[in-house]
């Protein structure tokens, strides 16, 4: 039997398999690093999911609701009255033992320069009573008129009588706002935007 002098014998060395294996793993690692980097970027600058752990925003939000908190809109404009915002605890809450990563969620009621008052079960801004169809019940407490300082917000839970909010601990620095809670994705029967 004649052999072709130009043909090379088949390699029995494991080296090509090992090289292929490492190349495949290197490619998988690159994809994983890219995916993690993209997820970090989206969560830090664009949007992130959040879970509702308390009843402070009833009836708008219930325990167990899962939301998307978008962050882009507040790069171009300030929070508006009525927005539901997620925020880091301000210094006065951190001094009570809340951790900086224990995010709160409340509704923006007062903007800088507004005079906020709670009287006769109603919230007023600059002596104008707010119409608030979203609250669980009228507030059963009084709060003397206070003026919201520059660069701060006055926030309240929709469950007015069971909410650790600005009527207890004071003003929220705008810098502590993480983003705007804009969309509920769980439970599916209440999927959609929020007001």
152, 171 contact by CB (below 8 A): yes
Q: Which of 71, 106, 163, 166 is catalytic?
A: 106
- Told to judge if 106 belongs to the known catalytic residues of this protein, a careful annotator would answer yes
Sheet containing strand 122-125, edge to edge, reads: 128-129, 122-125, 115-119, 143-147
Tokens of 116: 């906020």
Known catalytic residue: 166?
no
Question: Which of 56, 71, 163, 166 does the annotation list as catalytic?
Answer: 56
Q: Catalytic amino acids?
A: 56, 106
């Amino acid at each position: 039997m004649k052999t072709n002098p130009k043909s090379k014998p088949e390699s029995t060395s494991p080296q090509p398999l090992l090289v292929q294996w490492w190349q495949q793993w290197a490619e998988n690692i690159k994809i994983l690093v890219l995916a993690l980097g993209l997820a970090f970027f989206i969560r830090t600058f664009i949007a992130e999911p959040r879970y509702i752990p308390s009843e402070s925003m009833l009836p708008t939000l219930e325990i167990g609701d899962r939301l998307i908190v978008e962050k882009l809109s507040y790069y171009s404009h300030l929070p508006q009255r009525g927005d539901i915002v997620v925020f880091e605890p301000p210094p006065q809450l951190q001094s009570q033992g809340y951790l900086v990563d224990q995010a709160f969620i409340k509704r923006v009621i007062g903007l800088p320069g507004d005079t906020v008052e709670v009287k006769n079960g109603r919230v007023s801004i600059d002596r104008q009573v707010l119409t608030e169809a979203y609250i669980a019940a009228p507030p059963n407490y009084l709060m003397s008129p206070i003026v919201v300082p520059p660069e701060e917000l006055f926030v309240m839970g929709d469950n007015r009588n069971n909410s650790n909010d600005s009527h207890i601990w004071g003003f929220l620095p705008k810098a502590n706002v993480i983003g705007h809670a804009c969309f509920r994705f769980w439970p599916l029967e209440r999927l959609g935007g929020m007001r």
